[in-house]
Structure 1
Amino acid sequence: MEADPLAAAVVADAPATALAELPVPATYLAAHLRAEDQDTFSGVDDKDVRKSIHVGRVPMPELAPDEVLVAVLASGINHNTVWSAMFEPVPTFSFLRKFGGDGGWAARHDAPQHVIGSDAAGVVVRAGAGVRRWRIGDRVVVSPVYVDDEDPATHADGMMSPSQLAWGFETNFGGLAHYCVARASQLLPKPAHLTWEEAASNPLCAGTAYRMLVGERGARMKQGDVVLIWGAAGGLGAYAAQLVRSGGGIAVGVVGSEEKARAAREFGCHAVIDRREIGLDGGVPEDPAVPGRRLGKLIRAAVGADPHIVFEHVGRATFGVSVYVVGRGGTVVTCGSTTGYQHEFDNRYLWMRLKRVIGSHGVNLAELSAMQRLLEIGRLRPALSVTYPLEETGEAARLVQRGLHTGKVGVLALAPQTGLGVSDPGTRRSLMG
């Protein structure tokens, strides 16, 4: 679909003065959900997200004083995209209604269409009257965390604020579109040596993994720690493996195929275990201690010690095993439950062996900035494996829904092809070859 004049100018790398003179379009192309589809999958076993994700024009929202309008060059698929499109565990329109009920500028979010997507990289094309640090023409990445900077809790840790929301999941106007709306407090400069699609692939997954493993509110990994990473070839796992290796830890990945085992090793795992070796073929084990004993034996044989940390996001199918297998005094840090939220575990292994469980969610802006510095100095690389055009967002999300991807799945929005957006080729050559 042909881009509007403002979008075309962004793609042509027009100067900020030219962008400021061009009008903002009344509508824009976006991957979105429709409120009328919320019952689409009632009684259906295969909730195929290609049926619920629509790509078409939606109304352009008015900009609040503390917001920016970003022309999106690239975005990415996350599991929350899949949950949104499945309308599970609840339709995200309930989040939009609740947020819209706050009134004022929040009311815009309660709309009959939900523009999804929690990752984005692009160019600022408008800034609200209250925005101080960002200007038209700035190249940025967008944090997936939407916070209220008037909430006192935000100033200690944005993730602890009760008003914190997942952008593009619990809010509208997300990143899988030609334009997105974000608060100024969500922005960081785009790493100059990365392409648009590479830059867009990092914030949610790499930021979440950083908080879980490195941040002071997570597991606080030390040099020499053995870290068990479930789904080590996926988006979260790919960054977790890199963070463990670059931080002096020992990464042990669990995957489900030889292809994913190769990918996990490339991402940084020192050892990789196929989950089928321990009797986990996708179901929930009747007694987690059985696969736990097998897994523990394989880990000790590979690296000589029980895990000090388990990086957990799979949920019901693995959580009991995680509690069992982590070593005495160790930590299970969890950020999600893709196989189910109701976890069962034998509490004796938790209390008698002095283990800890830490819940982790998202990433605050300081942590995201620290993660981006690792990208900028070459200690972390984008985990992007494949890229789809915006018009095929449904296919991209279906790939993640079926677990057939490795690393991150990218989506080109305004960028006409991959490989664009690098403004520091020298650093790219030195860091990425």
Structure 2
Amino acid sequence: MATFQIEGGHKLKGEINPQGAKNEALQILCAVLLTPETVQIDNIPDIRDVNKLIQILENLGVKVKKLGKGSYTFTADNLDLNYLESDLFKQEGSSLRGSIMIVGPLLARFGKGYIPRPGGDKIGRRRLDTHFEGFIKLGADFRYNKEEHFYGVDAPNGLTGTYMLLDQASVTGTANIVMAAVLAKGKTTIYNAACEPYLQQLCRMLNSMGAKIEGVGSNLLVIEGVESLGGCTHRVLPDMIEIGSWIGLAAMTRSEITIKNVSWENLGLIPETFRKLGITLDRVGDDIHIPEQDGYEIQSYIDGSILTVSDAPWPGFTPDLLSIVLVVCTQAKGSVLIHQKMFESRLFFVDKLIDMGAKIILCDPHRATVIGHNFESDLKATTMVSPDIRAGISLLIAALSATGTSTIQNIEQIDRGYENIDERLRAIGARIERIA
């Protein structure tokens, strides 16, 4: 198990380029299964979760060719569907939550799709009901092997379009159902659909392949099924979660950092949320410039009550950045209530921040009150374990701002979502080493 050793308390300076969006890449890669023609995808991040999915596609028979950094072609013209029932797939699929999204494309094109219960972050209950209820409404038969935790859907006579109201605006659930519906007979209407930029990107890619999807960017999607899809070239957006992470890093280390080519129009509430925490950030073309600042003061509501930062489906604030916001607030002037609505285990990492000297009251599994130090008292270095991707990067940011040398174990969790993070941080002055 590898670790990071971080000497904190140093200011950083320079430019950083965000990687391609992890959450988009996982959807887009699954979509290559919808066509026998070649699909080229650019700006794919080189991270553990994405590389695992590419390996699964290769084992399934997809011809994968790397053209250069982050650029690949995929051709799914001769798949080995027997792999889906192999022990190897049960092992590989269960280690990656994003693998669930291969089911929709396989069901649409081949009339069957299987998946072991997928893994991923241990951040609370993450139901798959939305995915399979959508497939059932499209005409698939569902089965579940409780002994092996193995899911299957079959539609030997094909799928048929229908109207459905999703029980929750699940991003991966919507993506899976959309990929199944594009080859279904007739019209499918999906209400309460997720509309995150990642989902919009998937829909645009599918339309470029010949799909007929209307309402992209809204929570009402109308899909007219087509007989087949062709190839295309697609570029993945910059990762908004990583962009938010760098904003938090700049604030906590009181550093001047420029984040390049961020795709401002796809950041939603992220810049404004950090501004409410008192952080100065400027738009320079398509870049974000965070100047060096001695401190930042959390705004109150107009009636003087404490600010609440909470997550919500898009265009609300993304839950993946609440851990970053929480860490940033430990050195702010003022107090804030963090309300993590979607996952009941995502705030449990705060005990590690409390060990570092942060003033945090964990009210319940979903809410934490943070009383900022205003940089009058530094966080103290410690040894900690990364429990998941987002908590891991938050602890890393805390360590970079702390006094002394910290150790973070289980950094494989961070590597699942952040590309070569130690090298990129060293390039802007961070003192961080990877120890095998």
TM over 0.5: no
Report the TM-score, using the length of structure 1 for normalisation: 0.29
Report the TM-score, using the length of structure 2 for normalisation: 0.29
